[in-house]
Structure 1
Amino acid sequence: MKIFCCKEHVEYGLEEIINEGEVSPKLEELKESELPTAPCEYCGQDAVYIVSN
């Protein structure tokens, strides 16, 4: 599972990964060359992080 998040909603992504998979989440910051990869799944702004399990 991968969740794209902006800076404002990264906590939501972390919580969702923990609740869904009951494992420690992996947080990766997108590199400038990868921006914008996808919108934030919570608000639609440009994603800055990928939270995954």
Structure 2
Amino acid sequence: MIYCCKEHVEMALNTVVVEHETAPVLLEVAMEKQLSTCCEYCRNTAVYMVGN
């Protein structure tokens, strides 16, 4: 799973497609968890979780 901000959501979706060759699942991160979860690309607050 990749946690990402709004700016990097497209990059995370592409990464899942390339690495797993399946359609990605996009979920919003709960407000409580947003405070402690960072984007894996830029370290801003994560808004989405992308997985397969």
**Common topology (TM > 0.5):** yes
Q: Which runs of 5 or more structure 2 residues have no equivalent in the other structure?
A: none
**Structure 2 counterpart of 1:40, which letter?**
C
Secondary structure in 2 matching 1:13: helix
Which residue does the alignment assign to 1:32?
A: 31
Q: Quote the sequence identity (%).
A: 44
Correspondence 1:9-48 to 2 at 5 A: 9-48=8-47
Q: Which runs of 5 or more structure 1 residues have no equivalent in the other structure?
A: none
C-alpha separation in 2, matches of 1:19 and 1:47: 21
Secondary structure in 2 matching 1:51: strand
Point out 4+ residue stretches in structure 1 off by more than 2 angstroms. none
1:18 Cα deviation from its structure 2 partner? 0.1
C-alpha separation in 2, matches of 1:9 and 1:27: 12
- What is the aligned-residue RMSD (CA, Å)? 0.9
**Structure 2 counterpart of 1:33, which letter?**
E
What is the TM-score with the length of structure 1 in the denominator? Answer: 0.90
